[in-house]
A and B are shown apart, each in its own frame.
Chain A
Amino acid sequence: MLVYGFINSVILMMIALGFSITFGISRVANFSHGGFYILGGILTWYGLIKLGLPYFLSAGLSIIIVGIIGAVMYRVVLVRLRGLELSEVIATFSLGIVILELLRGLGVFGYEFRNPVFIDGSVEIFGVGVGIQRIIIVCAGAVLLLILHVFVHHTKMGLAFRGVAQQEHTALSVGINPDQVSMLSLAMGSIMCALAAVLILPLGVISVDEGYDILIKALAVCIIGGLESTLGVLVAAFIIGYIEVLTSMYISSSLTSVIPLACMLVILLIRPSGIFGKSKEIEERV
């Protein structure tokens, strides 16, 4: 239980991180997140199974392609909608639906659409057998967090990102182009989304419906943790991750998909800006 809760939490974190990074920097809520996730998985599958590329090449290429799609989406569409939050959501969500339904139309359905695990086998941790793929996911999650922290706090591009996130006008006045930074933030978020897909999808089957599921999970984690807060994402992922595992163990596994949404509703009621949210509480807003 402890071990599986932990792994489940890390998976949730990886799913939500891309969404949170993009939103934290550019304020774009990328609702095509689920679409990008499945696209990352299916591209890897295509390269690996149909083209016969080596696994890591195929995975790497898919991640890059998804990143480019994210950047192009900003450059072509979102740049015209800046500040119109609802339009941004509609545009990104539409793209997500187009990707997912296109894949459905192309016949992505069934057991054949699955990526193999990186390394087969399992090891025993605290008396529980754990697949090596899951261990790789946990390690990758930790490395990703570390890289992200170093990037944001110790590189000049990270500093520019923080500048744009905190005070866009001042960033402009010191020669930073916020559109460029936002485009990069979308590319980064998309890359992290595809990376999560490459790592996590081998645990199951690639299905179009999961794309919608992933979006909802990412949203739930981000809203509970407080949008734009990486620490919030981490904490929220662990809260939901453990509650999910507990529910499936003691109540019913069919209820697990409800958990993120239920948690989200509770948090929205008691603390609308999330656990680590920086935006003002409702009373202050009036």
Chain B
Amino acid sequence: MEYLKIENLRKTFGGVVAVDNVSFDVEQGTLLGIIGPNGSGKTTTVNLITGFLKPDSGKVLFKGRDIAGLRASKITNLGIGRTFQMVKPFYRLPAFKNLVVPLFSPRVKRMGGHYGEKDTLALDILEDIGFERDSAVPYKPASILPHGYLKRLEMARVIALQSELIVFDELYSGLTLAEVASISPMIEKLIETGKTIIMVEHRLKELFKIAHKIVVLDQGKKIAEGSPREIMKQPSVKKAYLGVEL
């Protein structure tokens, strides 16, 4: 049985077919990259998997169970976490309180604990992800944090949630090379600890270094699938990205 199996997923908005019969599998403990030009249906696919959109047809089988169309909060509690392309922190909460919210979710409920106790745990997670613990940064409201920190906060949220399948929607966008270089090892570490990851990404060079498999979407359709090495050689991929046959 596949860990995550996407079967003939389809979603239309009015007359536009955003995702058109897309199918692919993700093996447990691997990193799948989803790439494609703007408007190719990557984020829509993420939203369909994580329950933020309901598919018109098709299945999302997570450990054999069809989760397509379930409420997003339910899917989260089944163990699928996601980040947002446009960062969405709880702006008026301090950075560490942003993590206390997921720490209280039903998903991590079995850890027990009361209000206040989770603060230390949240600070630990933030420290691991590069918030200087002894500085004021973790205590500042999210609204005044720089973009790099907010991206890391998005990531910290799914770590706090203890999701087993994590979907990163353009985690690297807007980050400097140095920031990407510091985050990539963290993602590799997540894989080592047994997590499964789907990354939607435009930063191909960085993605290809850590991905096990790549799915290429173009205008809602899957046009290629394979290892990063295979994908780089595909003429159809270059055509989708550059608009010309090279």
A residues touching B (Cβ–Cβ < 8 Å)?
154-156, 159-160, 162-163, 166-167, 169-178
On whether A175 and B77 interact (CB within 8 A), knowing A154-B115, A160-B104, the answer reads yes
A-B contact pairs, 29 of them (CB 8 A): A156-B104, A159-B97, A159-B100, A159-B101, A159-B104, A159-B115, A160-B101, A160-B104, A162-B90, A162-B93, A163-B101, A166-B92, A166-B93, A167-B89, A170-B90, A171-B73, A173-B82, A173-B88, A174-B102, A174-B105, A174-B157, A174-B161, A175-B73, A175-B77, A175-B102, A175-B105, A177-B73, A177-B74, A178-B73
A6→B48 CA distance, assembly (Å): 54
In the complex, what's the smallest C-beta–C-beta distance from A184 to chain B, in angstroms?
14
**A174-B76, A174-B102 as given contacts; A167 in contact with B90, CB under 8 Å:** yes
Report chain B residues within 8 Å CB of A177. Answer: 71, 73-74
**Most chain A Cβ neighbours within 10 Å, of B74, B101, B104, B161:** B101
Query: Of B93, B100, B107, B115, which one neighbours A175 at CB under 8 angstroms?
Result: B107
Chain A residues lying within 8 Å of B51, measured Cβ to Cβ, are 172
Residues of chain A within 8 A (CB-CB) of B40 are: none
Whole-angstrom distance from the CB of B57 to the nearest CB of chain A? 23
Q: In the complex, what distance in Å separates the CA atom of A239 from the CA atom of B95?
A: 35
Chain A residue nearest to B161 in the complex (CB)? A174
A176 to B82, CA, bound (A): 14
A163: min CB distance to chain B, Å: 5
Chain B residues with Cβ below 8 Å from A174 are 76, 101-102, 105, 157, 161
Tell me if B52 is interfacial: C-beta within 8 Å of chain A.
yes
Closest residue of chain A to B102 (Cβ to Cβ) is A174
The answer to whether A173 touches B84 (Cβ under 8 A) is: yes
* Minimum Cβ distance to chain A for residue B90 (Å): 4
Return B93 CB to nearest CB of chain A, in Å: 7
Q: Contact: B52 with A175, CB < 8 Å?
A: no
Q: Is B45 an interface residue (CB 8 A)?
A: no
B91 at the interface (CB under 8 A from A): yes
We find that the number of chain B residues with CB closer than 8 angstroms to chain A is 31
Interface residues of B, Cβ cutoff 8 Å to A: 50-52, 71-74, 76-77, 81-84, 88-93, 97, 100-102, 104-107, 115-116, 157, 161
A260 to B97, CA, bound (A): 38
CB distance from B56 to the nearest CB of A (A): 21
Among residues of A, the one whose C-beta sits closest to the C-beta of B92 is A166
A155 proximity list for chain B (CB < 8 A): 115
A171:B84 contact, CB within 8 angstroms: no
A173 touches B89 (CB 8 A): no
Q: A177 to B101, alpha carbons, bound, how many Å?
A: 13
Q: Which among A155, A159, A172, A175 has the greatest number of chain B C-beta atoms within 10 A?
A: A175
Measured between C-beta atoms, what is the minimum distance from B87 to chain A in Å? 9
A160-B104, A170-B89 given; 12 more Cβ-contact pairs under 8 Å? A160-B101, A167-B88, A167-B90, A169-B52, A171-B101, A172-B73, A173-B50, A173-B82, A175-B105, A175-B161, A177-B73, A177-B74
In the bound complex, residues from chain B placing their C-beta under 8 Å from that of A163 are: 90, 93, 101
For B101, what are the chain A residues with a Cβ–Cβ distance below 8 Å?
159-160, 163, 171, 174, 176
Instruction: Point out the residues of chain A lying under 8 angstroms from B92, CB to CB.
Output: 162, 166
Contacts of A170 in B (CB 8 A): 84, 88-90, 157
Contacts of B82 in A (CB 8 A): 173
